[in-house]
Amino acid sequence: MTTPEDSQPQPSSGEPTLQQKFFRYFQQEVTALQDQMDRIGDRPLIAGERADAADHCLAGISRLSSEVKDASTYLPSYDQRTYAEAVKALQDKLQETRAAFAPKQKFSFKSARKSPSAISLSDAAELAAQKRRGVPGYLSPNGNTPGTSQSGTPAYLQTPPDEKSTSSNRPVPDAPHPSSLQQATSVPATPEEQPSRPALSTTATSTTISSQSHAHILLPSSSIAAPTPCTISRLTSCILDLSTSRSASFASLTINNATSSLLCCGTVNGPAHVTGLRNCTLVIVCRQLRMHECAGVNVYLHCTSRPIIEDCKGMRFAQLPQTYFDLTAAGQSGLADSANLWDQIDDFKWLKSEPSPNWSVLPVGERVPEETWREVVPGGPGWRTEDILKAVGIQPQSGR
């Protein structure tokens, strides 16, 4: 005899429920945000890096709060309160972190003489602009792009002078100093017109790659001595190879906005957050992967937890190429001994029982061959960036 309980449909033991998926995702996000806040104090004060790091954490907390509200349709009321309290705790921790590292300010109300503590907002902005102009790599206010340090950047990572754009309708920086002409001549209106500026900035606490077009960017094998956060942003028709150091890995990875590019991101011991990729190929070894607002991306992956996608479409996943795995620090980090869940994708914007249409397994016949990873992708004399991109199935955008 069957009981009423027997007649009720039971969830598959191998398929996690929506509540379980969200709980796992929420835990990953909280861990990542706490890790980012713990590292705010390690950021230098120059060029606003510490403030930018705090703002990045605040944006992540706000996004997580919105996602808790969006999940209210299937989360019990008690769980919603628990998640809301956890978000509030993150907000309080960020506020305490900001207060702990904020520079002490002096206030003056009696003196008529202007000083940094008693000036108008416009005066303060002008003083700040003057200070930034003394920072190597600073771009003028016309550009809306903060400067980056040129310290420690090899010459071969910079665009040759004869490849600079000479378009007459592009803005010119205010009163350029001769020593800054090689760093930045203007700020582009489109990704195809990127300025000549350092592509890679490495410090003891971070690695940053930003604002590049039609470039082949390599990470020097000696540039990372210990795990540090890595930030990648605004790349167009580029090849980024961070796999050249087998002895080092990144503590975390953040990618924002890349188009028609090959991103070989090395080994990430912690979370990897990827946003805004279009028609790219991503190659990565990591513990956690979350992709947001991406389209037309092939992902070659070794991940020890279930990858998460959200607001994505046209995503295709494949196992990490063996050639690439041998080049990274994955074997030494212990990730090689962990299960690879490269095809166990959770789509947080697909709540139906049917398989998500937003991702699929990349067919074996359409994957990049091992010999291409081994012989073509590293590049060399005579290899153009466009040729390598086409070899891995990426159609680069029109040239500079």
Do both 212 and 320 map to the same domain?
yes
Do 83 and 209 reside in the same domain of the chain? Answer: no
Q: How confident is the model at residue 2 (pLDDT cuts 50, 70, 90)?
A: very low
Say yes or no to pLDDT of 205 above 50.
Answer: yes
Q: Please list, in sequence order, all residues whose beta carbon lies within 8 angstroms of the beta carbon of residue 17, skipping any fewer than 6 positions away.
A: 11
Return the pLDDT at 184.
30
What tokens were used for 363?
Answer: 């067919």
Estimate to the nearest angstrom the gap between the alpha carbon of 158 and the chain centroid: 21
* Mean local confidence (pLDDT), 300-305: 95
pLDDT value of position 246:
55
Determine the average pLDDT of the residues in 178-207. Answer: 47
Q: Does 130 fall in a domain? A: no
Instruction: Determine contact, residues 292/310, Cβ cutoff 8 Å.
Output: yes
Express each pLDDT in 99-118 by its tens digit.
887 665 554 444 444 333 33
In a domain, 107, yes or no: no
**Whether residue 91 is found in the same domain as residue 238:** no
Question: Looking at the domain assignment, is residue 6 inside a domain?
Answer: no
Residue 93, domain extent: 18-101
Q: Are 233 and 354 within one domain? A: yes
Report the CATH number at residue 272. Answer: 2.160.20.70
Take residue 328 and report the two structure tokens written for it: 């990274």
Domain boundary residue, one of 58, 79, 101? 101
- Beta-carbon contacts of 24 under 8 Å, excluding residues fewer than 6 positions away, are 16, 305, 306, 346
Q: What is the pTM of this model?
A: 0.54
Does one domain contain both 219 and 92? Answer: no
pLDDT at 360 over 50: yes
Length of the chain measured in residues: 400
Residues 97 and 213 in one domain: no
Pairing of strands 262-278, 250-259: parallel
- Count up the domains in the chain and report the number: 2
Residue after which a domain boundary falls, among 62, 82, 101: 101
* Within-domain flag for 92: yes
Distance CA 390, CA 377 (A): 10
Residue 276 lies in a domain: yes
> Which of these three, 101, 117, 134, is where a domain ends?
101
pLDDT at 190: 40
Q: Do 227 and 353 fall within a single domain?
A: yes
| Residue-wise pLDDT tens digits, 162-180 | 444 333 333 433 433 433 3
pLDDT tens profile 40-70 = 877 776 667 788 788 888 888 988 888 888 8
Q: Give me the chain's average pLDDT, please.
A: 74
Determine, yes or no, domain membership for 196: no
For residue 193, is it within any domain? no
Are the C-beta atoms of 198 and 157 separated by less than 8 Å?
Answer: yes
CA torsion 337-341-342-348 (nearest 10°) is -150
* Residue 163 located in a structural domain: no
The lowest-confidence range among 18-32, 181-195, 257-271, 321-335 is 181-195
Tell me, what's the pLDDT at 278?
98
For residues 205-222, give the mean pLDDT: 84
Of the two residues 174 and 327, the one the predictor is more confident about is: 327
Rg of the Cα trace of the chain?
Answer: 23
Pairing state of beta strands 239-241 and 216-218?
parallel
* CATH assignment at residue 67: 1.20.58.1250
DSSP 216-280: EEE--TTS-SS-EEEEEEEEES-EEE--S-TT--EEEEEEEEEES-EEEEEEEEEEEEEEEEES-
